[in-house]
Structures are given as structure tokens and as C-alpha cells.
Copies of this chain bind each other. A is one copy, B any other.
């Protein structure tokens, strides 16, 4: 399986940056979930570029739900959402097509598809494809919310500027919903944006760290081997372009701790079992323990920069230099955040649906 992910609830994506449309088929979502076009639109807006910190390509994402929704609710059969591409610019790629953009997939695509790939604007590798994940993810987020499960992601770090950590997670997730640039500490937003703008002026780009929290997950979900919560989530998250690391809790920062410092003691909170700390990110032995899921994604700096770069021409097999043209993002971390929320929601719906059955996600049943 390639462009389809999930066992009980599966998402299939298609499309290229400069094709007629991109889209998603969401299959297996339980029947009866309300589908709110405004909410899908708002989620897509969070992914759309805006202002000086993003590309100037402006897609309106005028999506059409062409199947699987009837009288405002999911039917239980595949939901296909089509998002037309309208802002593609015709241009002549012949001069640059064989110049492999560093850290991009031009060369690897050529190795894999033998030159038949649609190379315009990154083709099927384009971050534009994630719009489909956001549209499908909006329905998954709605279903989870109906069961009391909430997801929020903030920009924990960008351009060496740090946001504050999660504190009151429920309140923090709420506050993130209304924010276009997702930080918990508003002063971090100003600094991060300044950094991005300054880097943009130099024709360069930045990356960072996204941190995600999920509350309301029931305990006892996940598998001890292979289909651990960590394994399935990371499998999905790594397909978001630019994500190169995934850690639960903040594992890489804690590798010097001793067991007595790292272990999360259990304790009773009323009649609920909780842990005093949450270094394990809500997961023990691959299975949820009822505490918030906590994980971080390392986002590499956007590969498209305007500075001249060394590369090769993979047709002629010669060294070359490359000056990337076109419209590009000096940072994508603020746009990637809603993709992480969406992908997480899709994965959790799949896992929960497998654990508790196809009808479970419909809260009114």
C-alpha cells in the first residue's frame, strides 16, 4: 500500500502540484458524523499561506465533497473531497528539470519513476497534497471531539526561538484553535515571525519543532508490538514533508536521565489512575495509559531557498549550480501544524475504530 494509510479507517490521497485537482478519499469513517463545510474551510485556511512568512501562491481551496456525505452527515461509505488547483503557473521547466534541488525529491523521483514523473512544482511530492489530509482530518477531528478527544499542536521552536511548554493542556488546546500562528506564548509569535522574515530576506529558510498534545484518549488502546501507538503515529507523521524526527515525551532531551528520574509514578486522582509526570507521553508498552499523548516532530528547514546552490544535472551527470525561482515558503512549520493535527486525528480514529468497533466514534449512538 502506498498512498493509502489506515486499516479500519483509511485515507487515500492523490494529486500533483500542477494537476487539475488534489484530493482525498476517507474510507471507513462511521456513519452519522456531522460534516461542517465551514469547519473544513477554517482548517484549510490554517494551512494556506498568508503574509510575508509564506509563499505568494494563493489557492482558495474551493473543495467539493463529492461522495460519502448525505444530508450533512457521513454515510459510512467513502468520502471523496476534491480540491481544484487554480493558481498553477505555466512555465518552462526544460532548463531546470534535471537540476536536482538539494533536499528535494527531484533526483529520487527520477530514480524511482524513470523520468515519467510529473516534475512541475514538485508534482506528487508537493506539500500541496497535504490539503487533502487537512480536509479529511477535519472530519476525523469532529468525530474525536464528539467523544471528548481533543488535539492541539504548537510551534515549540522555530528559528531558535522557543515557545513555552504545555501547562494546562485542555486550556492550551482551546487557545490554539483560534490562532493562525500556533504558539502558546504570544511574544514567541512576534520573535519567530521576525526571524522568519529576516531569513526570507536573505533568501533562506528555517525549520523548528512542533509539539502535539492529545487529551481524552481512553486507556488500553494500542498494541505491544509493531502497531504501538508510537509506531503507527510516527509512520503517518513521517509522510508530512519536512518532518525528519518524531519523539514521544521529549525523549531525545531526556536520554541522560536515570530511571528514577524518568519513570512516571502512578497515583490515584479520585478514582482515576494518573501519573505524576508524563515523560512517556501517555503511552506504556505501546498502549495508551489515559494520560495526554505528547509528542514532538522535528521539522527541517524548507528546502526551497533562493540562494544559489551546488547540485548536479541528473540527465547529463554533470555538476551544476542552481538558483531556484518561483514562489516558496521561508518557513512551513506554521502551516504544517494543522497537518500534524489532521494526520493525528486520522490515525487515532483508525485505531479507536479498530479497538471499539466501527460504530464507536458516533457519539450519539
- Shortest Cβ distance from residue A47 to the other chain B in the assembled complex, whole angstroms: 16
Please report the C-alpha to C-alpha distance between residue A79 and residue B264 in the assembled complex, in whole angstroms.
31
Q: A104: nearest residue on chain B (CB-CB)?
A: B284
Q: A227: nearest residue on chain B (CB-CB)?
A: B2
Q: Which of B237, B302, B358 contacts A355 (CB 8 A)?
A: B358
Q: Which of A53-61, A172-180, A186-194, A203-211 contacts B (4 or more CB under 8 A)?
A: A203-211
Task: Determine whether the beta carbon of A246 is less than 8 Å from that of B234.
Answer: yes
* A286 in the interface (beta carbon within 8 A): yes
The answer to whether residues A208 and B255 also contact, given A27-B12, A226-B2 and a CB cut-off of 8 A, is: yes
Q: A248: nearest residue on chain B (CB-CB)?
A: B244
- Interface residue tally for chain A (C-beta within 8 Å): 154
Please report the C-alpha to C-alpha distance between residue A319 and residue B319 in the assembled complex, in whole angstroms.
60
* Residue numbers in B under 8 Å from A44 (CB-CB): none
Task: Determine whether the beta carbon of B263 is less than 8 Å from that of A309.
Answer: yes
* A220 in the interface (beta carbon within 8 A): yes
Task: Determine whether the beta carbon of B112 is less than 8 Å from that of A287.
Answer: yes
* A76 in the interface (beta carbon within 8 A): yes
* Residue numbers in B under 8 Å from A157 (CB-CB): 255-256
Q: Which 5 A-B pairs have the closest CB atoms?
A: A105-B285, A111-B220, A245-B247, A245-B251, A205-B259
